Structure 1
Amino acid sequence: MSSSGSRSSVTPHAPSASAASPSPEASAAPAASAASSEVFSLLARMEVGELTPEQHAEVARRCRLPDWQSRQMSASKAAELIHDGMTVGMSGFTRAGEAKALPLALVEKARREPFSITLMTGASLGNDLDGQMADAHMLARRMPFQVDPVLRRAINAGEVMFMDQHLSETVELLRNHQLSDMNVAVIEASAITADGGIVPTTSVGNSASYAILADKVIIELNLESPAALEGLHDIYIPQMRPSRQPIPVVAPDSRIGTPYIPMDPARIAAIVLTRGSDSPSTCTPPDDGTQRMAGHLVELLKQEVALGRLTPALLPLQAGIGSMANAVMSGLKEGPFEHLTMYSEVLQDSTFDLLDAGKLDFASGSSITVTEERGRTLWKDLERYRDRLILRPQELSNHPGIVRRLGVIAVNTALEFDIYGNVNSTHVCGTRMMNGIGGSGDFARNAQLSVFITKSLAKGGDISSVVPFASHVDHTEHDVDILVTEHGLADLRGLAPRERAVQVIENCSDPSYRPALRAYFEEACQRGGHTPHCLEQALSWHREVEVKGHMRAMRTAAEPSPSLAGAAPSLPDATA
């Protein structure tokens, strides 16, 4: 395989560039339907010369590359460029902006001629593509994040080797040849510039670095993507070490790169035409539990403002993917905060709720992932948000140095946490992968305020999300400032382990499991230690789940005991 130095005439850069104007036509991205799927599949199967005059004109408006017709081919023909054992990078981040035709063509190919690849993406793919590829047994390795139930089963069965990575690190490892060199990149585009630049669609993710580092690039030109996306992106690639300069992002609205992925046109091996929509987010509306969590967080932030630690504009916000973080972030509409900004990885419904409410001035992310309801208006009206949005590569949206510089307030979701503040984001009962760590680690360690939220109960109350000992630790107690459930908030800043345990048990655990947690902690304290534990009992709660499928026995394992709250340090008085 060739070295990365020989793959592109484009070098990492630092100069600023203003956003390009979008092409004249207006387009909206409607929800996926049987009709649009049929058009999408027919278009992707077209070979050069098969376009109607109307289709040719439509493509020419999007693709300004003079010789695009010589590169246009069907998805099936483009799939023949990918062979057994290759490392392939695909666009896609939080089910947004993924290549939609090539994966299906590869699935068809794998069912005819078995082969397997290493697949790298930005994060999760939509349209059930991960599951279809896993079902076709074409994935030998997968990184760095996924959310598909079929792929998840294959990972937990040991059929697919899954590398769970911090999202900011994947391209750094690739760039420095610590991962297999990339053979082919498959990138969804909204447009292609006259000099070969790729205008991404609804996500950037790792697409820029994949395109620059791969031997060959296949572009899926999605004619259904909104034309208003052009000019929204800010593509900047850090220089190679040891000559790397500081990344000059000093505010969420800093523009430091180009509005497209710079590309040597000679490396564009194929252009596949598609029409297709992203999968809508499956986020559910706020419920009583998430509204209570939002209320606890708003009260904390109000107190931080009263103490002079924050202004009413707070600091740039980050919210992890999912219903809970999205709902809690939407709850900030009810707080006394103004001129908020966001420096996040994914922009969800809550981002646009806050923009519409006049609470949020600007949002920077790496993708836009919204529900079907929000998408019905957003994609038609994207133009009115353009001046308040930026989409960046994920190595910048999640960059530890930028997160630390900006002082981000990070809100992410936990599967479970223990009484000392260690957080498990990824593994059920310590062994079975759920989705992955995603960007939560990038933000947790480097944020000014690192918040983890979860409901105190799972599986209808059969499982406590607050446990004596986390069965898997993604975020240690050293990286966690605040824990929130529907019952309350534990502020762990400046506390020793024994003090932390009191806060977590009394403020965050469900009352039905609280006596057992108190009993465990009291017995552990009698044995001594800086972080007291009863090792023979520490994972007994998870063992109950493995054997019985629930923790219900822990509800009656201890007699009701007096509150530990008297031993808990109180939050600082805002009037002090």
Structure 2
Amino acid sequence: MNPTQLYRQKHRTKEDVITNIQPESDIITPILAGEPGALMKQLETYDGLEGNRLFQMFTTRDVLDVAPDKLKIISMFMGVSERKAFKEGKIDLLPNHFSDVPKLLKQIARNPVVMAVASPMDSNGYFSLGTNADHTIPLIKEGATVLLEVNEYMPRTYGENQVHISDITGFIENHQPIPEAPATPEQSEKDKMIGEHVASLIENGDTLQIGFGSIPNAIIDNLKDYRNLSIHTEMIPEKIIALYESGAVTNENNPFKQGKMTATFAYGSRELYDFLHENENVYMLPVNKTNHVGQLDSANNLVTVNAAVEVDFLGQVNSEMVGDMYWSSTGGQADFQLASHLSDGGRGVICLHSTAKGDSISKIVPSLNPGTPVTTSKNDVDYIVTEHGIARLRGKTIRERTKALIDIAHPMFREELTFEAKKMGYL
């Protein structure tokens, strides 16, 4: 059959297409904007569930209301609704490095079913997963059952995120605006100072991995006069458009696809999605390529920028837990941090405000609290940046690290931190 005939044959109602999910099979959805909202919602009323599991990542929606014996929900990186549900014991969290998720799911998933949003089919019979390639494309290539939610609001992107009509089991059409990132808070003075510090570590010709939020935005604002930058990142952030328009980005040194920006997912506003639509300068890759340390070592002068909740005197970085609330997960931080060491001329940067809660708490701490996850280990840490400066920890001893971190802590906490360091024998 030709693509048009297959399209007619596989076009179903949501009630019908969801029946392809058999008891005790595992459902996998993409991260953020790639989640198929209508198909996921249909799971709440589908009576064919029994012992199924849903592996989701940073959902933008409320956690599904399904009995756990019918559908166990497992997050791989938590968003707002998942944090609350995890604390209440309604969902579970699977520890992972983002680069390893496809392999991990291949090992543990039973009869995997991938459900994803796709842009409309082209004349050759291909759908594009648009904002996503992530962990779902490798599973599709491995033969998972594929159920799509076709949506004309999903941008058509290029790269390794194309799915042919012959490889899917069924699809629905659901044309609704895809989720957009909430507006980023206005940059604070702290954000701007951190942005300037990080920009001082970046040089013309570097390849950048950078995320989203007020601090990354502040960094990008300081890069508009740079030249010949390449973008190879996990997530394409909103501010990247301004960096392109300034002429700073050429992607000439991108080893993954010369002349193109490479990434595994995108999340932002409609403006970002319009920028991505049929943009031949953007090339989407699965996360086991974008984040794989063994492939990233070919990128010279790789600068990776990530955020932290707190850092202790050893250089251990917690980016996952805020107080007693599990906040997110490891994501790609550890992947890119290690890759920056392997890169010729690479630099790994971890950013954080020096304080929290109205300057009442120091985020440079003597030691992480018991039970706090270590996102980046002391052996992999490189640069730590706060609004008060830059601490290069790589190659430094424990005592040297302690002093360097106290120097970039908020001045009101330096005496207390010095006292604790002496008590611990670090100074």
| Cα distance in 1, alignment partners of residues 109 and 352 from structure 2 | 37
1:499 to 378, 400, 413: 400
2:147 to 195, 213, 218: 218
* Inter-partner Cα distance in structure 1 for 2:54 and 2:337: 27
431, 436, 439: which one aligns with 2:329: 436
User: What is the distance in 1 between the residues matched to 2:83 and 2:339?
Assistant: 29
Q: Paired residue for 2:257?
A: none
Name the amino acid aligned to 2:72. Answer: A
- Indicate conservation of the 8 Å contact 1:191/1:200, yes or no: no
Matched, 1:328 2:219: yes
- Give the letter for the 1:297 counterpart: V
Partner of 2:74: 142
Q: Which moved more, 1:191-200 or 1:469-478?
A: 191-200
Deviation at 1:291, TM superposition (A): 0.6
Secondary structure of the structure 2 residue equivalent to 1:489:
strand
Match of 2:241 in 1: 352
- What residue number does 1:512 align with? 412
1:278-307, CA deviations, whole angstroms, 9 ceiling, x for partnerless residues? 222123232211110011112233xxxxxx
Separation in structure 2 between the aligned mates of residue 218 and residue 195 of structure 1, nearest angstrom = 19
Q: For residues 219-234 of structure 1, what are the structure 2 equivalents within 5 Å?
A: 219-226=148-155, 229=156, 232-234=157-159
The AA in structure 1 aligned to 2:308 is: A
Structure 2 Cα separation of the partners of residues 103 and 291 of structure 1: 40
Q: How does 1:418-433 map to 2 (within 5 A)?
A: 418-429=312-323, 432-433=325-326
- Deviates further, 461-470 or 149-158: 149-158
Task: State the one-letter code of the partner of 2:18.
Answer: A
Provide the TM-score with structure 1 as the length reference.
Answer: 0.66
Shift of 1:219: 1.5
Q: Are positions 1:312 and 2:204 aligned together?
A: yes
Structure 2 residue 313 is matched with structure 1 residue 414: no
Supply the distance in 2 between the matched residues of 1:337 and 1:160 (Cα, whole angstroms): 44
Deviations 1:530-553 (A, max 9, x none): xx4xxxxxxxxxxxxxxxxxxxxx
* Structure 2 equivalent of residue 76 of structure 1: 15
Question: Could you tell me how far apart the structure 2 residues matched to 1:118 and 1:135 are?
Answer: 11
Cα distance, 1:204–1:285 mapped onto 2, change above 3 Å: farther
CA contact (8 A) 2:36 2:149 kept: yes
The answer to whether the 8 Å contact 1:185/1:214 transfers is: no
Contact 2:102 2:136 in 1 (8 A): no
Report which of the two has the higher share of strand: 2
Q: Residue 33 of structure 1 corresponds to which residue in structure 2?
A: none
1:467 aligns with 2:352: no
In the TM superposition, residue 319 of structure 1 has moved relative to its aligned partner by: 1.1
- The residue aligned with 2:36 is 99
For these two proteins, the number of residue pairs brought into alignment is 406
Any residues of structure 2 matched to 1:235-274 within 5 Å, and which?
235=160, 260-261=162-163, 265=166, 268-274=168-174
Relative to structure 1, the CA distance from residue 135 to residue 325 in structure 2 (aligned partners, 3 Å threshold; closer, same or farther) is farther
Shift of 1:152: 1.5
The residue aligned with 1:189 is: 118
- Check conservation: 2:121, 2:128, Cα contact below 8 A: yes
Question: Aligned partners of 1:134, 1:316: CA distance in 2, in Å?
Answer: 43
Determine which structure has more spread, i.e. the larger CA radius of gyration. Answer: 1
Separation of aligned partners in 2, 1:100 and 1:116: 21
Shift of 1:155: 1.7
Query: Which residue does 2:135 correspond to in 1?
Result: 206
CA contact (8 A) 2:102 2:135 kept: yes
Measured against aligned partners, the alpha-carbon deviations of 1:396-433 in whole angstroms (never above 9, x if no partner) come to: 1111122222042100000111122110011234x531
Distance in 2, matches of 1:456 and 1:134, equals 39
2:90 to 148, 159, 174: 159
Whether the aligned pair in 2 keeps the contact of 1:134 and 1:151 (CA below 8 Å) is no
- Following superposition, the deviation at residue 233 of structure 1 comes to 2.5
Measured after TM superposition, the shift of residue 434 of structure 1 is 0.5
How far 1:269 sits from its partner (Å)? 2.3
Distance 2:82 2:308 in 1: 21
Check 1:295–1:183 CA distance in 2 against 1; reply closer, same or farther (3 A cut): closer
Deviations 1:36-74 (A, max 9, x none): xxxxxxxxxxxxxxxxxxxxxxxxxxx944222222112
Alpha-carbon distance in structure 2 between the residues aligned to 1:414 and 1:441: 12
Q: How far did residue 262 of structure 1 move?
A: 5.2
Cα distance in structure 2, aligned partners of 1:467 and 1:483: 13
Equivalent residues of 1:65, 1:195 under 8 A apart? no
Name the TM-score, length of structure 2 as normaliser: 0.87
Contact 1:285 1:323 in 2 (8 A): yes
**Distance in 2 separating the partners of 1:475 and 1:403:** 17
What letter corresponds to residue 506 of structure 1 in structure 2? D
Where in structure 2 are there 5+ consecutive unaligned residues?
A: 252-260, 341-345
CA apart distance, 1:196? 5.3
Question: Which residue number corresponds to residue 397 of structure 1?
Answer: 290
What residue in structure 2 maps to residue 85 of structure 1? 24
The structure whose residues are more often helix, as a share, is: 1
Looking at structure 2, the residues matched to 168 and 134 of structure 1 have their Cα atoms a distance apart, in angstroms, of 29
